[in-house]
Amino acid sequence: MVARDSVARTLRRARARVIIRVRRLRNASRAKGRRFTWARRAVLAATLLAVALVPYPVIGSASVPSPTSCRTHCRPVGTAGKILWSRQLPGAWTASAGLSGTVPVSGQAYVAVGHGLAVVGVGMSLRAYNSSTGQLEWDHELPGFPAGSAIVSVRVWPGVVTAGVSYGPGGASRAEIVFSSTTGQQYHWYSATRFGGAVWATTQTTVVVGPGAVTAFDNSTGKARWRRPTGAADQSWQVDGSDLYMTVAAGGYLGSQPVTALRRIDLATGVENVVRPAATAFHGTLSSVVSNVVLFASNSGVTAYDGLTGLWLWSLRGVVPESTDPSQGRFYLTQGTSLLEVDPTSGQVLARASGSAVAGSAGLFAVRNGVALGLDQGANGEAWGYDVSSQQVVWTASRVPWPHYFVDLGGLGGSAEPDGAKVIVAACAKLGSKSTPSPSISGSTGSTASTTPSPTSTTSPTSPTGNGSPINTSSTSSISASGTPSPSPSATPAPSGRLCADPELVAIYR
């Protein structure tokens, strides 16, 4: 009996070993085919914004099969990496095999997604789509601005949408226009600083960084609820939840004088506190804020301060600010080709994703809930999410030809929904002619009205020309949600590439 049991146990063990070996062989075979693809996506290089305007060689092929995106009303499938819907983009677009991907022939496009909407600004056209189904909710051409004006920022807030418009010689002036997110009705427009605009909004109130002050306006009447003077020089700023941090520097963001203090303004109430450093000045330039920890960057690295007291917290040398993840309360810094996840309070490096740039990977766009968003270049492009802590790709969206993320720094706009599960990209389903037309003036598709809006005037919802009541993932010199100057669309050359016969706006469930 004992011998029989011994033989049975031996047979069971042998059978188990065979099963394990078969499974290992099967898994190895599966992994071999995708090892290179996933490894190259793990590379997190510089942000797309830094290279969005770099020309790349002309694409060699004449066409590409259409992506398998749905063309009618689509339902979210509940699986990360699935394409929810796609819609044709207006205007002339070009497709490049490089990091720029699918972009307008002239100027730039801006997208914000959140609160049930995906809003696109191109030239002087503003379109709002249902972010879950792709249904067009409303479509407006913005009238009353001179030729050459252009939308340079789009934001989606609870109940309202804001669009920054750059106008005048060299795009030196800016207006911020407030719309109902439900109907698209224009409420009011307000003068904004060149690197300012809407920084916070609700159904009732919109807060605007304008000339010499931060002001909260009543959406229904256009009157000021509160106003906090900020001085004659335009300052850098960052938003952290419902707090606005603005520098106090003698020459503003254009000067070389140090930052001697920070204004911390509660955007809901207007209550202001002045935060001063223990030393004579903060070291470096204002870069980002997470959980009331303020990060300053310099040539040597970064320095973190307590945003409530001004006390020094920690410093890291040889790193560059890359992104923030407000939902998890993390800074993301780059060190060489590595991406570091850093605890804001202690400065401890919680995770490190390392690699080197390789062909076909465009690198990091943003980080949401610990997952870095990236894309692959070219006709067979893919969007993907890379979990920084576990250091593995957690989702992919295939067949997104010549993809492009709409970059808007600071997390107030851009391709990625701040608190939701959607990513918006541009793609080119089919290439057009081989040549790229000469660049035209940015925003030339907008109104050519001769009346120029005055930076200090106010207007009614129907006419941004200067009578009536008081009125960003990037820009004709706008500040992309972070108080950092962005390139001017009017100075943007046409990207090197092919005309796109079928440009699309694509929504991906992440």
pLDDT tens per residue, range 63-113: 222 333 333 333 334 467 789 999 999 889 999 887 788 999 988 899 999
Residues 6 or more apart whose CB falls under 8 angstroms from that of 110 comprise 120, 121, 122, 151, 152, 153, 154, 406, 408, 413, 472, 473, 474
Give the pLDDT confidence score for residue 413 in this predicted structure: 65
Percent of the chain past pLDDT 70, that is, above it, reads 68
Q: 224 burial class (0-12, 13-18, 19+ CB within 10 angstroms)?
A: middle
Structure tokens at 84: 């929810």
Give the pLDDT confidence score for residue 31 in this predicted structure: 44
Amino acid, res. 339: L
- What average pLDDT does the structure give for the chain? 75
Is residue 493 over pLDDT 60? no
According to DSSP, residue 89 is labeled P
Give the Cα separation of 12 and 6 in Å (integer): 10
- Which tops the pLDDT comparison, 491 or 127? 127
For 389: left if phi > 0, alpha if psi spans -120 to 50, otherwise beta; the answer is alpha
Structure tokens at 475: 């820009």
According to DSSP, residue 159 is labeled S
Quick one: CA dihedral 494, 495, 498, 503, positive or negative? negative
Give the Cα separation of 333 and 46 in Å (integer): 10
Is residue 319 over pLDDT 70? yes
- Which tops the pLDDT comparison, 359 or 98? 98
Strand order through the sheet with 383-387: 361-368, 371-376, 383-387, 392-397
Number of DSSP helices (H) and strands (E) in the chain, helices first? 1, 35
For 76: left if phi > 0, alpha if psi spans -120 to 50, otherwise beta; the answer is beta
Which of 353-367, 425-439, 450-464 comes out lowest in average pLDDT?
450-464
Is residue 212 over pLDDT 60? yes
Which 3-state string (H, E, C) describes 344-393?
Answer: CCCCCEEEEECCCCCCCEEEEEEEECCEEEEEECCCCCCEEEEECCCCEE
Amino acid, res. 275: V
What's the rounded mean pLDDT across residues 399-422? Answer: 75
Q: Please, which pLDDT band fits residue 60 given cuts at 50, 70 and 90? A: very low
Give the pLDDT confidence score for residue 95 in this predicted structure: 93
Structure tokens at 53: 């305007």
- Which tops the pLDDT comparison, 205 or 70? 205
Strand (E) positions, 252-370? 261-266, 272-275, 285-290, 293-298, 301-306, 312-317, 320-325, 330-335, 338-342, 349-353, 361-368
Give the pLDDT confidence score for residue 255 in this predicted structure: 81
Give the pLDDT confidence score for residue 297 in this predicted structure: 96
3-state secondary structure of 431: strand
Percent of the chain past pLDDT 90, that is, above it, reads 48
What's the rounded mean pLDDT across residues 128-152? Answer: 94
